[in-house]
Chains A and B, each alone.
Chain A
Amino acid sequence: MSLPLIVLVILALAAAGFVLGRGRAMASAGGDIRLLHSLPGYYGWNVALAAMIPAFLALVLWLAIQPVVINGQVSSMISQASIDQSSLDLVMSDVRRVAEGLDTAVAAGALTSEQAGSIRTEFTDVRDRLGQVGVALGSDVTSETLHAAQRYRELSGLGDLGRAIVVLGLAVLGAAWAWQRSNKDFRARNSVERVVRWILIAAASIAVLTTVGIALSLIFNTVEFFRLYPAADFFFGLTWSPSFGGGSELGIVPLIWATLYISLIALAVSVPVGLFAAIYLSEYATPAVRAVAKPLLEVLAGIPTIVYGLFALLTVGPLLVDVFGNGGLLGVNWMAGGTAVMTAGLVMGIMLIPFVSSLSDDIINAVPQAMRDGSLGLGATHSETVKQVILPAALPGIVGAILLAASRAIGETMIVVLGAGAAAKLSLNPFEAMTTVTAKIVSQLTGDADFASPEALVAFSLGMTLFVVTLGLNIFALYIVRKYREQYE
Chain B
Amino acid sequence: MNQMTKPEKVAAMNEAKISAEKVQVFYGDTHAIKDVSIRIEEKTVTAFIGPSGCGKSTFLRCINRMNDTIDVCRVEGNILIDGEDIYDPKVDPVQLRAKVGMVFQKPNPFPKSIFDNIAYGPRIHGLARNKAALEEIVASSLQKAGLWNEVKDRLDEPGTGLSGGQQQRLCIARAIAVSPEVILMDEPCSALDPIATAKVEELIDELRENYTIVIVTHSMQQAARVSQRTAFFHLGNLVEEGATNDIFTNPRDKRTQDYITGRFG
Chains A and B touch (C-beta atoms under 8 A apart)? yes
- Stretch with Cβ within 8 A of A (4 or more), from B80-88, B130-138, B170-178, B209-217: B170-178
In chain B, positions 99-124 with a C-beta closer than 8 Å to chain A are: 99, 101-104, 106, 108-112, 120-121, 124
Q: Residue A377 contacts which of B106, B109, B124, B175 (CB distance < 8 angstroms)?
A: B175
Q: Enumerate chain A interface residues (CB-CB to B < 8 A).
A: 286-287, 368, 370-381, 384, 388-389, 392-393
Known contacts A286-B71, A370-B106, A388-B124; decide if A377 and B64 are in contact (CB<8 Å). yes
| Choice from A287, A370, A379, A393 contacting B104 with Cβ under 8 Å | A370
Within the complex, the shortest CB–CB distance from A39 to chain B, in Å, comes to 51
In contact, A388 and B104 (Cβ under 8 angstroms) = no
Once A376-B66, A378-B174, A379-B95 are accepted as A-B contacts, the answer to whether A392 and B111 lie under 8 Å apart by CB is: yes
Are B108 and A379 in touch, CB under 8 angstroms?
no
Q: Are A379 and B98 in contact (CB under 8 A)?
A: yes
The reply to whether B94 and A379 contact each other, CB–CB distance below 8 Å, is yes
**Which chain B residues lie closer than 8 Å to A381 at the CB level?**
94, 124
- Decide if A378 touches B98 in the complex (CB within 8 Å): yes
Within 8 Å CB of A384, what residues of B? Answer: 124
Would B111 and A378 count as touching, CB distance under 8 A? no
Sample of 11 more A-B contacts, CB < 8 Å, known A374-B171, A377-B66, A377-B102 = A286-B71, A287-B71, A370-B104, A370-B106, A371-B108, A371-B110, A373-B102, A374-B109, A377-B64, A384-B124, A388-B124
Q: How far is the CB of B70 from the nearest CB of chain A, in Å?
A: 10
- Tell me the B residues contacting A by CB distance below 8 Å: 64, 66, 69, 71, 94-99, 101-104, 106, 108-112, 120-121, 124-125, 171, 174-175, 178
Known: A377-B66, A379-B125. A393 touches B97 (CB 8 A): no
Q: A370 CA to B103 CA in the complex, in Å?
A: 11
Q: B120 contacts A373, CB within 8 Å?
A: no
Give Cα A374 to B99, complex, Å: 15
Distance in angstroms between the alpha carbons of A392 and B95 in the assembled complex? 24
Task: For residue B100, give the distance in angstroms from its CB to the closest CB of chain A.
Answer: 9
Alpha-carbon distance between A388 and B122 when the two chains are bound, in angstroms: 13
Q: How far, in whole Å, are A377 and B99 apart by their CA atoms in the complex?
A: 10
Pairs of residues from A and B, 7 with the lowest C-beta to C-beta distance, nearest first: A377-B102, A379-B97, A379-B98, A370-B108, A374-B108, A378-B121, A393-B111
**What are the residues of chain A within 8 A of B110 when measuring CB–CB?**
371, 374-375, 389, 392-393
A381 to B95, CA, bound (A): 10
In the bound complex, residues from chain B placing their C-beta under 8 Å from that of A375 are 110, 120
Given A378-B97, A379-B96, do A373 and B124 touch, yes or no (CB 8 Å)? no
In this complex, the member of A368, A370, A374, A378 whose beta carbon has the largest number of chain B beta carbons within 10 angstroms is A378
Q: In the complex, what distance in Å separates the CA atom of A148 from the CA atom of B97?
A: 92
